[in-house]
Structure 1
Amino acid sequence: MASLARLKIGKPGTGRVIGDKFVGRAIRIYLPLLALLVVTLFPFYWMAVTSFKSASELFDFSVSPLWVREPTLAWYQHLFTQTNFPHWAFNTAVVATISTLISLFCSILAGYSLARLRYRGADSIGWGIFVTYLVPPTLLFLPLTFVIRELHLFNNLWALILTYPTFLIPFCTWMLMGFFKGIPRELEEAALVDGATRIQAMVRIAIPLALPGILAAALFAFTLSWNEFLYALIFMNDSLVKTIPVGVTQELIHGDEFFWGELMAAALLGSVPVAVLYSFFVDYFVAGMTAGAVKG
């Protein structure tokens, strides 16, 4: 009976050790994660709360700004009926999608060529492409403005579709180079021995194996295109062809007058597509970024 009691009670101090480990784990892991989660999600919460407040509640400083007493959809209704937000959203989606597809097509071909094909100057070209990405857009928009003017593309979505790949292709190419270098050459060599062409080996072997990296590059390109502001501000003056970042900041801010309800509603709706994409493909994005950073 005594031995059975000792087994049930356990060793002296075991509970204290387990409690100390739990407290230490909470301090080292859970508290920093909780702080990071609050800092990350609070802007979205603030946008959502503000967008559902009425005008009277929005400027009532006698109550807590963190809660909504009487939710309303008036700001969303005004955004969709009294502004050109539907046009801005459509323009942003079209530009981001087409720019991403163009950039991926060029980056896959360039990344595979620089990673797999042996020819003189491949390494120098690879470094040159990456250095091109480091050039800030503030130095490129002046010459690009002259190009767009000569092509008569002002207030045309093609102005953005053609200029966005100038900063998307270099980074996507560099990232995909690391992924293609991580694929064993023996797989493609075996396909070439079996009679496949280089194009067939790339399409049927290299690209499927590099799919996580391609999806990571696609997310990166789409996010940059969706949130790009400088080129859209310079090339788009007509309200109907503006994108969300430019339209919201120009049409919903008049001098020192801020339309906070519409601003927060537009900001929240503009963040949803990118957030949804990352929620579905976050594993591929992390795998692509980490693999592209260490390979090659």
Structure 2
Amino acid sequence: MASNATTAALGTYVKDKTPLWRVRQAIVTYTSLIPYIAFSLFPFYIMLITSFKSKQEINNLGKSPFWATRITIENYKYLATNTSFFDAWMFNTIIVSLASTAISVVIGGLAAYALARLRFRGVEAFGVAVFVSYLVPQSLLFLPMIEIVNYIDDFIPIRDSYFSLILTYPTFLIPFVTWLLMGYFRTIPFEIEECAYVDGASRIRTVISIVLPMAMPGIATAILFAFTLSWNEFLYSLVFIQDELQKTLSVGVVTELIRGDIYFWGSLMAACLIGSIPILLIYAFFMDYFVSGLTAGAIK
């Protein structure tokens, strides 16, 4: 009887103490994250505060840069009325990013599956070539890319338009997507495909019905990375496009809001803040796929 009473009292003690222990653990966990969160969000905070400041307050060195004494939306009005930010740049960036990402994921996915599953002469050399081509910097490629765009422009008018970007962006996106998906396809057990072959499924049907659904986390990760690289790309857009209405966000903001030694800081911060929102939303909604796809490929 005494033993039962002691056990019951111990159970009550543990039950009472467990919520407190969990609260303490949560406090320690979230407190340790505060410096990281503050460090990560600080640039966005500065962009937000600066975008709502007047030009006079921004140029006044006696004012604190960490808060605004008077809130104004004149910087956003300047973007809407004096630039092509909402009329052209945002639309062009979305079209270029979606089109180049779709092309790169389709071609890179097919190449990754072939390199990960098929056995043919030179497969390892092809894999190394894909990785090496991914490492080549864009600053070495834009000169031959100009020659290619000029040659194609003789038949199809793509020069000085965002169609030239849709054509050239996959040159650095496809190697990256291929390299990323190769590791993920290798994590899928080959026995599953063999079972489909035994049941009479062709290779194409096996890939569409079995491999692709299982590889969705890796494909989603490739889409996120490819879209982000396309959205933030600067060099090709700067070199290939001079028409203001054909520019993307990354180039339009720099060329139109920085004139010589004059910086339109308020409008620059407003443009950067608005331009970063789509990427933040995409990563927020697809973070689970992003993490699972990265870890699976890294473990393999």
| TM-score between the two structures when normalised by the length of structure 1 | 0.88
What is residue 137 of structure 1 aligned with on the other side?
138
The reply on whether 1:38 has 2:38 as its aligned counterpart is yes
Mapped contact 2:100–2:170 kept (Cα < 8 A): yes
Partner residue in 1 for 2:162:
157
Identify the match of residue 276 of structure 1 among 276, 281, 288.
281
Give the Cα separation in 1 of the matches to 2:33 and 2:235: 34
Counterpart in 1 of 2:189? 184
1:106 positional shift: 0.4
AA aligned opposite 2:283: Y
Return the alpha-carbon distance in structure 1 between the equivalents of residues 178 and 297 of structure 2. Answer: 10
Alpha-carbon contact 1:175-1:293 (below 8 Å) kept = no
What is the CA RMSD across the aligned residues, in angstroms?
A: 2.4
Per the TM alignment, residue 40 of structure 1 is displaced from its structure 2 partner at its CA by 1.1
* Amino acid paired to 2:121: R
Looking at structure 2, the residues matched to 132 and 62 of structure 1 have their Cα atoms a distance apart, in angstroms, of 50
Q: Give 1:60 deviation, angstroms.
A: 3.1
User: Which of 196, 202, 206 is the equivalent residue of 2:201?
Assistant: 196
What is the rounded CA distance, in whole Å, between the counterparts of 2:109 and 2:61 in structure 1?
54
Contact 1:228 1:245 in 2 (8 A): yes
Whether the 8 Å CA contact 2:161–2:243 is kept in 1: the answer is no
Which residue of the partner structure matches residue 73 of structure 1?
73
Partner SS, residue 111 of structure 2: helix
1:187-238, CA deviations, whole angstroms, 9 ceiling, x for partnerless residues? 1111111111100000110000000000000000000000000000000111
Deviation of 1:108 (Å): 1.1
CA distance in 1, matches of 2:185, 2:41: 35
1:77-156 aligned within 5 A? 77-86=77-86, 87-152=88-153, 153-156=158-161
Query: Which consecutive aligned stretches of 4+ in structure 1 deviate over 6 angstroms post-superposition?
Result: none
- Residue identity (%): 51
Deviation at 1:63, TM superposition (A): 3.3
Q: Which residue of 1 aligns with 2:211?
A: 206
Deviation track 1:96-118 (CA, whole Å, cap 9, x = no partner) reads 00000000000111111111112
Is contact 1:88–1:244 with CA below 8 Å preserved after alignment?
Answer: yes
Partner of 1:12: none
Counterparts of 2:143 and 2:57 in 1: how far apart (Å)?
45
Q: Which moved more, 1:96-105 or 1:181-190?
A: 181-190
TM-score of the aligned structures, taking structure 2 as reference length = 0.87
Distance 1:58 1:174 in 2: 45
Runs (5+) with no aligned partner, structure 1: 9-17
Pairs aligned (count): 281
Instruction: Give the CA deviation at 1:31.
Output: 6.0
Q: 1:37: Cα distance to partner? A: 1.5
